[in-house]
């Protein structure tokens, strides 16, 4: 492989490839960057994101770990305190629960608790979400939990461009950053626009402009929501789709600007609705844009069940375009 | 074998370091009763020989990670008692600007990576600090202190395995004070042989009398030499005893007064000082001078803390996220 160059024509690649190129660029750019995680080396990554990196960068910088999530995430915290720029991969958000102590009790408390003596410039990547028929313990969407924690930045790249460039942004942040890669996106192909060399990691983005209703979403639900918007367009409903991109700190301004324009809002979230990021967004709109609204807020979330294995049951558990379109339709043209 | 050089100055230094911790904490108890120190206060009373002995083996380039019972480690590491006392009292001139308190002392300059109040939570950090040193070509040792209660946490086992697997220069110091809060050691362990547990991860180790400061220093020096030489971790179990309650709220229903008294007689200061006196290695007026000097130091620390200002509430959210990486 050659060193990454700014592209002059659109390049077609998968989300997986975009993630890998981002890691490779980071490893090439800074000798303090190294990767740790389960099966990231010889196996090539459980979603094949890190395939080939061991051969290129060696065992010192592409560190296969035993199945000790708490130890290797904590090692990332310690290494970040002592001058390195670790990127830790946790196979999936489900397994990150075994490392919650290190993330929630150490990584985000130490900068504040030490009175600013230590920063924790740690990036943690993990896969998230359902849809692969792998049942409850491999299908959770807990991004909203992490977005609850002060001190974390929570990124949810949904596009090829964000998968390619959010990591570089994360590595310029002196604070712990979690990047959630939705499992259903790895095989998605898309074009990387020419001459883009970075993206911000602060703001939400309007992915489809519209005037009748705001559909606010992120991650794996973005393309379901865009599909719903297309269906609505066929009925003469002009939906705006906001991709949050960053769940913490939440870009409230982009959300409120969109709602002020459309006056109607549906929030789409693969997390459960109770105590969720969708609840947070809804409340912020209620607090700050209540009088802009022409209709009640609506949500399309995962059903409140452990995500089941059987295809028809899993499909019924997760948000889907028809349900999103129905919620929007109900707001714009109440029956 | 690394000999401990028991010259007169060194003997006085060891005694003074232990008395500093003991008297510092006695003052903390007073301030706690006066409600100038709030929250939890986990005293190190009885365990002073462990941190004093181990710190003797470390250089300023080495790193230290401790627990919520870390007053002793911080003082022995040379963190300024003034900043520690001010932190105890939640003041802006405290080592963490009043954000950490008794359980969370940090001192970047002395590579003191914190008091950690989740049992076992500091062990994985030690992996990272040692790994970072190794990857950056620094020949430093990371001393990681934890109680025997941490041995029951998964993080202990994960960490020892990884430390040996990656050949990281970590000195694991298990301060076995025989109780994890109220849970007696022999009621918690299926196997009370802790070096055996360490050796199951091929981490070499030994058990030392943690009430004997010279024995601890000697063992720690040998351990650190070995770590530097072999590039592998080492496990040091220091058998010790906590004379006081777990924190300040503890009826101590789990142990007898007689047991505590018996251990007090074997206390690290009374024993070392007695040995020095019996062998005429120290004069009574030298002990008095040390105590006087320490008490003056503590009086100064209290004055520093008392006169310290408070972090303005407008700064409450500062350091939740950092604007840059401190250097």
CB B242 within 8 A of CB B211: no
Question: Does the distance separating the beta carbons of B325 and A121 come in below 8 Å?
Answer: yes
Q: Which of B114, B133, B166 sits opposite A82 (nearest CB)?
A: B133
Note whether residue B222 is domain-resident.
yes
Residue B271 has pLDDT above 70, yes or no: yes
Confidence of residue B262 (pLDDT cuts 50, 70, 90): very high
Residue A125 has pLDDT above 60, yes or no: yes
Closest CA to A18 of A180, A191, A194, A244: A191
| Tens digits of residue pLDDT in A160-219 | 999 999 999 999 999 999 999 999 999 999 999 988 999 999 999 999 999 999 999 999
Place of tokens 């230094």: B13
Confidence of residue B269 (pLDDT cuts 50, 70, 90): very high
| Tens digits of residue pLDDT in B98-138 | 999 999 999 999 999 999 999 999 999 999 999 999 999 99
**Interatomic CA distance for residues B213 and B54, integer angstroms:** 9
Residue B244 has pLDDT above 70, yes or no: yes
Mean pLDDT of chain A: 96
Report how far apart, in Å, the C-alpha atoms of B125 and of each of A125, A134, B49, B156 are.
19, 33, 24, 11
Tokens of B57: 């083996």
- pLDDT score at A3: 59
Domain ranges of chain A: 11-192, 205-332
Catalytic-role residue among A25, A138, A143, A314:
A138
Note whether residue B1 is domain-resident.
no
Q: Is A217 on the interface with B (CB under 8 A)?
A: no
Residue B241 has pLDDT above 80, yes or no: yes
Note whether residue B272 is domain-resident.
yes
Distance of CA B133 to the CA centre of its chain: 21
The distance of A231 to chain B (nearest Cα, Å) reads 42
What mean pLDDT do residues B241-249 have? 88
Neighboring chain A residues of B123 at a CB cutoff of 8 Å: 71, 74
Could you say which DSSP state residue A212 is in? Answer: S
Active site residue A69: yes
Residue B249 has pLDDT above 90, yes or no: no
Tokens of A15: 């989300």
Question: Does the distance separating the beta carbons of B116 and A78 come in below 8 Å?
Answer: no
Which residues contact residue B315 at a Cβ distance below 8 angstroms, ignoring those fewer than 6 apart?
none
Note whether residue B323 is domain-resident.
no
Note whether residue B104 is domain-resident.
yes
* Helix (H) / strand (E) containing A256: helix A252-262
Q: List the CATH code of the domain at A11-192.
A: 3.40.50.970
Q: List the CATH code of the domain at A205-332.
A: 3.40.50.920
**Interatomic CA distance for residues B224 and B229, integer angstroms:** 8
Helix-strand-coil split of chain B, %, nearest 5: 50, 10, 40
Note whether residue B38 is domain-resident.
yes
- pLDDT score at A6: 58
Place of tokens 């890998």: A20
Note whether residue B56 is domain-resident.
yes
Neighboring chain A residues of B326 at a CB cutoff of 8 Å: 116-119
Please count the other Cβ atoms lying within 10 Å of the Cβ belonging to residue A140: 22
Count Cβ–Cβ pairs < 8 Å, chain A vs chain B: 158
- pLDDT score at A252: 98
Q: Across the strands, what pairs with A90?
A: A126
Q: Across the strands, what pairs with B145?
A: B173
Residue A7 has pLDDT above 90, yes or no: no
| Number of domains composing chain B | 1
What mean pLDDT do residues A283-296 have? 97
Note whether residue B313 is domain-resident.
no
Q: What is the ipTM of this complex?
A: 0.96
Closest CA to A260 of A276, A245, A240, A280: A240
Confidence of residue B1 (pLDDT cuts 50, 70, 90): low
**Interatomic CA distance for residues B163 and B153, integer angstroms:** 16
A11-192 shares its CATH topology with A205-332:
yes
Could you say which DSSP state residue A106 is in? Answer: I
Q: Is B80 on the interface with A (CB under 8 A)?
A: no
Catalytic-role residue among A17, A25, A69, A240:
A69
Q: Across the strands, what pairs with A35?
A: A62, A87
Residue A115 has pLDDT above 90, yes or no: yes
- The CATH number of whichever domain residue B92 belongs to comes to 3.40.50.970
Confidence of residue B43 (pLDDT cuts 50, 70, 90): very high
**Interatomic CA distance for residues A34 and A72, integer angstroms:** 12
Q: Which of residues 104-143 of B touch A (CB under 8 A)?
A: 104, 106-108, 113-114, 116, 118, 121, 123-133, 135-136
Report how far apart, in Å, the C-alpha atoms of A239 and of each of A172, A211, A262, A264, B248 are.
34, 6, 8, 10, 60
| Tens digits of residue pLDDT in B49-79 | 999 999 999 999 999 999 999 999 999 999 9
| Tens digits of residue pLDDT in B143-182 | 999 999 999 999 999 999 999 999 999 999 999 999 999 9
- pLDDT score at A9: 83
The distance of A77 to chain B (nearest Cα, Å) reads 6
Closest CA to A50 of A121, A134, A103, A127: A127
Closest CA to A140 of A182, A106, A105, A100: A182
**Interatomic CA distance for residues A145 and A142, integer angstroms:** 5
Could you give the 3-state DSSP secondary structure of residue B175?
strand
Q: Which of B88, B321, B327 to mutate to test the interface with A (most CBs of A within 10 A)?
A: B321
**Interatomic CA distance for residues B232 and B253, integer angstroms:** 41
Segments forming the whole domain that contains residue B180: 8-304
Closest CA to B205 of B245, B176, B252, B171: B171
């Amino acid at each position: 492989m050659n060193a990454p160059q700014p592209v002059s024509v659109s390049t077609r690649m998968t989300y997986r490839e975009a993630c890998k190129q981002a890691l490779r660029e980071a490893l090439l750019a800074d000798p303090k960057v190294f990767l740790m995680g389960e099966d990231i080396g010889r196996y090539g990554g459980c979603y094949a994101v890190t395939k080939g990196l061991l051969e290129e960068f060696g065992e010192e910088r592409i560190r296969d770990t035993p199945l000790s999530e708490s130890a290797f995430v904590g090692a990332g915290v310690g290494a970040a305190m002592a001058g390195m720029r670790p990127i830790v991969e946790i196979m999936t958000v489900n397994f990150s629960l075994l490392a919650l102590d290190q993330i929630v009790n150490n990584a985000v408390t130490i900068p504040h608790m030490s009175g600013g003596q230590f920063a924790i410039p740690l990036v943690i990547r993990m896969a998230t979400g359902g849809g692969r028929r792998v049942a409850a313990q491999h299908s959770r969407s807990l991004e909203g939990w992490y977005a609850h924690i002060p001190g974390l930045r929570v990124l949810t790249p949904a596009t090829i461009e964000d998968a390619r460039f959010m990591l570089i942004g994360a590595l310029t942040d002196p604070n712990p950053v979690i990047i959630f890669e939705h499992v259903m996106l790895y095989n998605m192909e898309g074009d990387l626009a020419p001459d883009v060399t970075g993206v911000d990691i602060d703001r939400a983005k309007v992915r489809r402009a519209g005037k009748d209703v705001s559909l606010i979403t992120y991650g794996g639900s973005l393309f379901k929501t865009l599909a719903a918007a297309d269906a609505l367009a066929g009925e003469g409903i002009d939906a705006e789709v906001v991709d949050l991109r960053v769940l913490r700190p939440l870009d409230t301004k982009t959300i409120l600007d969109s709602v002020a324009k459309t006056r109607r809002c549906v929030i789409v979230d693969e997390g459960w609705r109770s105590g969720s990021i969708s609840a947070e967004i809804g409340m912020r709109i209620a607090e700050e844009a209540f009088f802009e609204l022409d209709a009640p807020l609506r949500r399309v979330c995962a059903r409140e069940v452990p995500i089941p294995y059987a295809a028809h049951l899993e499909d019924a558990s997760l948000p889907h375009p028809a349900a999103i379109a129905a919620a929007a339709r109900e707001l714009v043209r109440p029956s | 074998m690394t000999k401990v050089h028991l010259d007169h100055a060194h003997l006085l230094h060891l005694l003074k370091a232990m008395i500093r911790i003991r008297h510092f904490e006695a003052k903390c108890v007073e301030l706690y009763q006066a409600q100038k120190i709030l929250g939890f206060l986990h005293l190190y009373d009885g365990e002073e020989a462990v941190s004093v002995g181990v710190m003797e083996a470390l250089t300023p380039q080495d790193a230290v990670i401790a627990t919520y019972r870390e007053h002793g480690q911080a003082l022995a590491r040379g963190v300024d008692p003034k900043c520690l006392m001010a932190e105890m009292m939640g003041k802006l001139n405290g080592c963490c600007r009043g954000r950490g308190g008794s359980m969370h002392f940090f001192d970047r300059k002395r590579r003191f990576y914190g008091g950690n109040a989740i049992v076992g939570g500091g062990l994985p950090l030690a992996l990272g600090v040692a790994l970072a040193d190794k990857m950056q070509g620094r020949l430093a040792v990371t001393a990681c202190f934890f109680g025997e209660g941490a041995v029951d946490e998964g993080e202990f086992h994960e960490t020892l395995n990884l430390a040996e697997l990656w050949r990281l220069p970590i000195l694991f110091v298990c301060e076995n004070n025989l109780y994890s809060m109220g849970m007696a050691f022999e009621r918690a362990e299926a196997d009370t042989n802790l070096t055996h547990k360490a050796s199951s991860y091929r981490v070499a180790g030994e058990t030392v009398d943690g009430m004997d400061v010279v024995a601890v220093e000697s063992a720690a020096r040998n351990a650190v030499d070995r770590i530097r030489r072999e590039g592998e971790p080492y496990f040091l179990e220091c058998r010790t005893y906590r004379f006081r309650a777990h924190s300040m709220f503890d009826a101590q229903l789990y142990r007898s007064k007689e047991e505590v008294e018996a251990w007090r007689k074997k206390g690290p200061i009374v024993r070392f000082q007695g040995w020095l006196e019996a062998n005429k290695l120290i004069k009574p007026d030298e002990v008095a001078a040390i105590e006087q000097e320490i008490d003056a130091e503590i009086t100064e620390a209290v004055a520093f803390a008392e006169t310290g200002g408070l972090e303005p509430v407008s700064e409450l959210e500062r350091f939740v996220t950092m604007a840059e990486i401190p250097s």
